[in-house]
Amino acid sequence: MVRLGTGIGWRPEIADDIARLPGIDWVEVVAENICPDHVPDALRLLRERGTTVVPHGVSLGLGGAERPEPGRLRALAERAEALGSPLVTEHIAFVRAGGPLTASPSIEAGHLLPVPRTRDALDVLCENVRIAQDALPVPLAVENIAALISWPGEEMTEGQFLAELVERTGVRLLIDVANLHTNHVNRGEDPAKALDELPTSAIAYVHVAGGVEKDGVWHDSHAHPVTQPVLDVLAELCARTAPPGVLLERDEDFPAAGELAGELDAIRAVTAAGSAKPVTAAGAAEAATAAGTGDEAAASVRASAAARTGADAPAADAPAADAPAPKAPLPDAPLPEAPVPDAVRERLALAQTALLSALVGDTPPPEGFDRRRLRVQSAALTAKRASVIAKVAPELPEILGTGYRPAFARYAEGRPMTGGYRRDALSFAEHLLADGRPDDSAARRRLTLWWQERSGPAPLPSHPAARFARRVRLALSGGR
């Protein structure tokens, strides 16, 4: 396992601060935001200084019912090679639904949604992970996500689900302790129990991030300071293993460099205390008792895999009476598995499509879900979608001012995203203009010009001189 050290999520808004922060061993970049042929100068300079860069994907949808798209896999592989990365990471989540498996239009979530912890979903996830592993030039690690909602009828805990995923694929884990805390608040799940059930030797690195609680719901915002409960979960993890790397994530509302440095120092203090703390046999036995016998869990995983392949499951050795049960070791070569039947993928596709349609398409909620939590998740998806559109098309909130988010919320209601954020931004502008909005005539003219420049039958020149000339003409005409 590559030793990474202490790192931070690289974002253009804080690139200068990151370059000056002391003790940054590595950075993580959102893979979809990097062009392999045009790596930002600030990131290139970090690499030249010897700073490791890890691409972190958000759009593969490994937990979705469809197989990973070859084009997305190629793009992630290209970024790993361009950045000289020792590994790449993605999420255990689905991000789109619909499509051929359901004979319905494909719709995008615009964010990460939880996978049901069922046998069907695990079988699909394992096959999708193996497809990705075969396509990538470096090892893959996958991340547990934060969730506002729970699937009805789940068959495994998060720790059990992740442990079997590792057993069957050999994939590495990116453990987000902030997400474990989020699921503790939102779903009543015990972070310590999840950590006890994990194969800690599979951990590639750890995420730490801030969030905020509103009306009894924890939002993993990445826009607030890291809280003490999240650091406590990190301490729980470090009491069990020394993670190869720990990384601070911040995506919005960036603080001053001094505050970032303080959060990094707090993370270092926790990891140092964990690595210096001896693990006693009594303490390990207590943890094993709380989580159940480790050998029994490992034997269950191996028996489950053997049942799918027709092989005999090896018997588990009984642990000594005075020793804690050991964790299941990582498999050197996971057993081959038969392809997932189409019927399994179709069942998962129908379930995920029904959920996503209720969240973004205003269809009736699927049976068994908490309707209040679905409303919270739906609002969160709309807010996330509006935030990304504001970054992709910053002119829109500039033109619309304080009316941007209310107008976008009205537009998004019952209108799922189907063609990516840039297409979504154009559709939003078209929707406003077709309704004769904005009410202010000057703002409406500016929005019309913005839309024409990007979607007219003969797009206007986009080089800087042409854009400057159009702005001058607009100013001289008084916005007419």
Q: What is the average pLDDT value for the chain, to the nearest integer?
A: 86
Residues 81 and 206 in one domain: yes
Global pTM reads 0.82
Q: What's the Cα-to-Cα distance from 247 to each of 86, 228, 266, 357, 412, rounded to whole Å?
A: 15, 16, 12, 34, 33
CATH number at residue 97: 3.20.20.150
Which residue type occupies 308?
R
Name the domain count of the chain: 2
Q: Which of 163, 251, 149 is nearest to 207 (CA)?
A: 251
Is residue 65 domain-shared with residue 173, that is, in the same domain?
Answer: yes
pLDDT digit string, tens, across residues 65-88: 999 999 999 999 999 999 999 999
User: For residue 310, is it within any domain?
Assistant: no
**pLDDT mean over 61-65:** 98
Task: Kindly state whether residues 264 and 369 are assigned to the same domain.
Answer: no
Residue 281 inside a domain? The answer is no
356: in domain? no
- pLDDT attached to residue 460: 45
Residues 53 and 173 in one domain: yes
94 with 236, same domain? yes
Domain end residue (candidates: 276, 308, 332): 276
Structure tokens at 401: 């001012």
Check whether 459 has a pLDDT greater than 50.
no
Strand partners, 174: 143, 205
The Cα 347–Cα 357 span in angstroms is 15
Q: Confidence band (pLDDT; 50, 70, 90) for 443?
A: very high
Q: Give how far Cα 463 sits from Cα of 33, 445, 453, 468, Å.
A: 21, 21, 12, 9
- Using one digit for the tens of pLDDT, what is the confidence trace for 84-106? 999 999 999 999 999 999 999 99
Which residues, other chains included, contact 80 with Cβ-Cβ below 8 Å and sequence gap of 6+? Answer: 55, 87, 88, 136, 137, 138
Q: Is residue 430 part of a domain?
A: yes
How large is the average pLDDT for residues 246-258? 95
Residues 217 and 109 in one domain: yes
The whole-number average pLDDT for the span 3-22 is: 96
Last residue of one domain, picked from the residues 225, 247, 276: 276
Q: Would 117 be classed as within a structural domain?
A: yes
Whether residues 92 and 193 fall in one domain: yes
Which pLDDT belongs to residue 276? 63
In a domain, 358, yes or no: no
Question: Looking at the domain assignment, is residue 458 inside a domain?
Answer: yes
191 plus 82 within the same structural domain: yes
More confident residue, 426 or 215: 426
At residue 414, the pLDDT reads: 85
- CA-wise closest residue to 205 among 176, 228, 239: 176
Are residues 54 and 166 both part of a single domain?
Answer: yes
The answer to whether residues 260 and 145 belong to one domain is yes
Within a domain: residue 233?
A: yes
Residue 463: the pLDDT is 54
Among 208, 453, 206, 170, which residue's Cα sits nearest to residue 331? 170
The H or E element that residue 213 is part of is strand 212-214
User: pLDDT tens-digit profile of 338-349?
Assistant: 999 999 999 999
Among 244, 276, 308, the domain-final residue is 276
pLDDT at 462 over 90: no
Range of the domain at 411: 363-478
| pLDDT of res. 455 | 81
CB 213 within 8 A of CB 224: no
Tell whether 257 and 395 lie within a shared domain: no
